[in-house]
Amino acid sequence: MTEGTTGQPPDTQSPDLQPSATQAKSSDSGPERWFDPSWTKVHPLSPFVRGWVTVLAIPGIIFGYNWQMWADAWQAVQSGEIQRDVSANPMPFILGGVGALLIIALIFGSFVLSWWFTRYKITTEHVMVKSGVFVRQHRQARIDRVQAVDLRQPLAARITGLAELKFEVAEGDGTAATLAFLKKAQAEELRAEIMDRAAGNTPSAAATDQISTEPGAGPEGTATAHGERLAPEQHHQATAPSGSPDRLVAKVPTGRLIGSVLSGWGTVFVLLLILVAVGALIVGLITASLDPAEGFGAVWPVVAALGLPTFLPMAIAAITIYYQQFSSGFGFTSTATSAGLRIRYGLLETTNQTIPPGRVQALQIQQPVLWRPFHWFRIVVTVAGYGIGEKRSVLLPVGRIEDVMATVAEMFPDLQVENPEEVFTAGLLNSGTELNFTEVPRRARLFDPYVRRRRGFRTTPAALMFRDGRAARRLTMIPHERIQSLSMHQGPLQRGRAVADIFVHSPAGPFQARLKNQDLDAARELFEYESAQAATARRYSDRNHWMRPEELQEFERKAAEAIAPAGGDAETPAGAEGHPVQAPHETPADHQAEEQHLRER
């Protein structure tokens, strides 16, 4: 993701794409304009969808910190005092109403200006967004670096039939580009096209010719690779999805979701508050019984004055947390598509995410201690660009073991072991050294007396597996090709017991892959194994779905140069005439055969 207007012009395309005549003419006549006809505006209703929240939030902020103002205003309305004041002197109320209307007009006017100066364009390489009235901003995201594309619908957008697209890339922890708002059907088609291009599924030649020859469709069209705008119906014909039909993977029933929300530590905290309140009430009753002349009526105001300022904010916070958890899992469904795992959830604000398996950096299955009697689990993932504390990192809010296995199978379709289900179940539920899992050595049981036999790891040809936690279970799975680096840490007490901590470094996410107090020799073997395995897996993993052919060829060339002897010190094999021997040109079939041979080895 890049930002700004310096450096390479944003309209620069790959050599195999020639610019249109309009672009060539504009480049010859002078510098590029900030907006040319190839840029498209978002939907005209976008300012109203974005502005109504601000309009409603202003009085809430003003009166939210002073409940007495609301009480006084309501009492004045009931008593008729406001009506009498308006009849006696209406001018202050008229001026106040005009001022409120001007503030509302200014708010919506600012959003209208923001909409007018916000344009976007989609090319074969980038998603580009330009915005800003006084301070202009140009954001672009490389399509081949897109990690996920989210489609979000706030309440006002659902009413008007609009949707927002968010593009996440691997270069940072924030959203690379946002299109707010488009028609829902147009946003869905655009998301499908971006995910297909990120997966390397380029349109056919006929479709490309159709895109390049059709005339523009106005502001509601979609920008094509040549900077032309494409009508939604033409876009749908040119980029119709292909491959296997969508398949439902998991669905969360509403009853199970409510049970999971209530079976949390927040409920325990609420129950403790209720017990404290009941205790305070009992104390008040006992105190009132000691003085029959005054009775409980004299004690109750004191109890209320002491309890309400404390318990009321806590009750509001508890309700807010419960609602957020319920809303983020309401109507949750996950569907396997050709572009990845598509998940949908939301009560008032709905969100549709598409997470490609090749973009998942790490995966963790969690079972809180209060969920164990119900055999429920949660799945969270680390995706580059999502960052820490994102609710979008939840791959399954609550599910049974069969839902977990079906969802994990979409991310890790093959562990490359003879008994994958047994290995997975042992990592999730069992303990000990069965099925080649490690554990904390007995000499270090003082460090981990309770979780010693469960804390360990195992490697498969496809992934590294960490399991931890006895009361609250956790199983972390990291693909070898996604491991950025590995480190070992050893404190002074650990050196005496010959154990060490293992850290797997990955992009920022909802969890860290860390394992404590492992045998030092086993940790060193893992360190050396992953140093070689991660590089080999990244080099020979199946990238055909996430790298274009020309990029794959360039990657292979650079990898060959990196493997070759540096500095020319080594002798170069020569032919009969003393010239270096040239390697024969590899075809795609030869490359696939080489990868298959390395996997079999």
The CATH number that applies at residue 195 is: 2.30.29.30
| pTM of the predicted structure, to 2 decimals | 0.71
The answer to whether position 480 is within a domain reads yes
pLDDT in tens, 339-363: 788 999 999 899 998 888 778 889 9
Same domain, 393 and 507: yes
Same domain, 137 and 157: yes
Please report the pLDDT score of residue 161 as a whole number. 92
The confidence score (pLDDT) of residue 593 equals 54
Q: How many CB atoms lie within 10 A of CB 355?
A: 26
pLDDT of residue 101: 87
268 and 178 share one domain: no
Residues 444 and 376 in one domain: yes
The whole-angstrom separation of Cα 373 and Cα 329 is 21
Assess if residue 400 is contained within a domain: yes
Closest CA to 502 of 493, 494, 387: 494
Beta-bridge partners for 137: 131
Say if 582 falls within a structural domain: no
pLDDT at 566: 40
Output the DSSP codes for 492-503: HHHHHHTEEEEE
In a domain, 556, yes or no: no
The predicted structure's pLDDT at residue 53: 74
Q: Answer yes or no: is 365 within a domain.
A: yes
What is the pLDDT, as a whole number, of residue 1?
A: 46
Question: How many whole angstroms from its chain centre is CA 108?
Answer: 30
Distance from the Cα of residue 547 to its chain's centroid: 21
Distances (CA, A) of 188 to 178, 241, 342: 14, 12, 12
Q: Are 405 and 533 members of one domain? A: yes
Q: Nearest Cα to 20, choosing from 5, 37, 34?
A: 37
Residue 164's pLDDT is 92
Q: How many domains does the chain have?
A: 4
Q: Which residues contact 292 (CB under 8 A, 6 or more apart)?
A: none
3 state SS for 125-179: CEEEEEECCCCCEEEEEEHHHEEEEEEEECHHHHHHCEEEEEEEECCCCCCCEEE
Q: Tokens for 39?
A: 């840029």
Q: Is residue 470 part of a domain?
A: yes
Low-confidence ranges of the chain (pLDDT < 50): 1-31, 204-242, 542-548, 551-552, 555, 562-563, 565-588, 590-591, 594-595, 597-599, 601
Among 494, 521, 540, give the residue marking a domain's end.
540
Among 496, 517, 540, the domain-final residue is 540
Phi/psi of residue 120, nearest 5 degrees: -140, 160
Do residues 275 and 421 share a domain? Answer: no
Is residue 573 assigned to a domain? no
In a shared domain, residues 276 and 290: yes
From 180, 211, 245, the end of a domain falls on: 245
Amino acid 587: pLDDT: 46
pLDDT of 208:
40
Burial environment of residue 501 by CB neighbours within 10 A (0 to 12, 13 to 18, 19 or more):
middle
Domain that residue 490 falls in: 359-540
Residue 564: inside a domain, yes or no? no
